[in-house]
Structure 1
Amino acid sequence: MPFKTTIGQNLELEVQQELSRMDNGWFFKWHFIGENRVTEIESFRGAPIRYGGIGYSGTTEDIYWETISHYRKLKVADFFNSIEKNLSKYKKPERKQAITEAVSIIKMFAKGIRKRAVEKNRILRGDGIKFPKPYDRGRWGESGSATIDQRAATLLEVYCEMNIEQGDYYVIKHMMNETLSFLKADGSAQVDNIKGLVTGEKIITFDTSLQIQPSDRF
């Protein structure tokens, strides 16, 4: 689809640059972990992953899948946070178009990362001449189509259906400067990068995808 809004055009460019960065940087570096020198690979958690003289199998492969899954979840959230910062600058019809465009672009990004992860894993498991059949061990649920659609639906509700030009919604929305993580009480799920407002003993967020129950934690 053609991307007509400024937000859509900027996001499309950002996604293309990010995919190129991952191709030439993160994915490429995994080819060097078997050498005698140490190779640093971004972990997307602060400290880098460091490998040297180690084969790509077992725990190393587990870390590969865990890291790329975590990365995709972070980037999907980052892309939405980026467009949300600019939505209030435009009128409602343009906002709706921008959000629709963003869904298409972000899904394209998510699909691209998954495809790259599967193919690179297949190559890394080979010996340079023979390569095994591909398989997918990524945990993509928290950055999949359902998550993207839900985040977009929240933006549509807040920026296109509510009257945020006046009243409490506008004030509260632009006071949400905290970035929160949500953890289920039984440890079954964690959601990161939630924009919210912490005031006194209250936490306010517009993220309607969260299924909050007693004893869950932010």
Structure 2
Amino acid sequence: MQQFQYGPYFHDKQSVAFNNVRRSLSRSETGRANLLTTEWSLRGKIIRPTEAEILAELALLKLAYSNDGYSATMLDNNGNPTTFMLDNNLAVGGVRVNQPISHGDISGAHGATYLKYEFGLAADYLVTPGGYLSFQEMLIFDDIDGGPIQVERLPAKGPPILQNVTERSWYYATQQGTLTQQASNVGPMPPLWPDKLRKVPGAKQVRYAPVKTIKGKPIEYGCDWHYTFVSDGPFSGRPRVGG
């Protein structure tokens, strides 16, 4: 590896080396890999005939690494990119400088004929999970097993009275849930019993969550749903399992 480049800035040839390369995965609620974070820690060396030239080059270095949003790569002997590359176009929110140009004490030869420095870069990349980042669905059954509906009466004299007003009652159910995913075509789970949806306002509700972004790059879409049902017989079903 011959020369390091960050955006328009080219370091001196054979002046930059890796301290370490760290890669880590963040996982969603469903346990799927979501983001791959790559962090580079690097060290370099400026060699110039005079202190003034060293300080001038140091000023250019600091300026180059004062901005995020450039691709970084280690070039080979022919000036071609190697596999050591942080592609700004693919990174979520772009490549970022997580350690600006830093150096030790400037004294003696260190600063007069050469200057060692360190810096760091990082980038996040989406990992296609092939499923939901989060998923939850719940069914709520609200009924009295179709039994008679009673009213409670308190007579002026005597014990309280429970009086049947109907021989049978309705069965009610609620289906509700949420999900998130990387893809933009997010949609709710369909009603489990579409023919038994209540024919009243608000019986079928779908809401789309604000899109989560990193520096304007969408990383998560979500929605939630809430359906209410009514039936003259018992419901049969279980929540769906997603992710």
Q: Give the TM-score range, shorter chain.
A: under 0.3
TM-score computed with the length of structure 2 as normaliser: 0.24
Higher share of residues assigned strand = 2
TM-score computed with the length of structure 1 as normaliser: 0.27
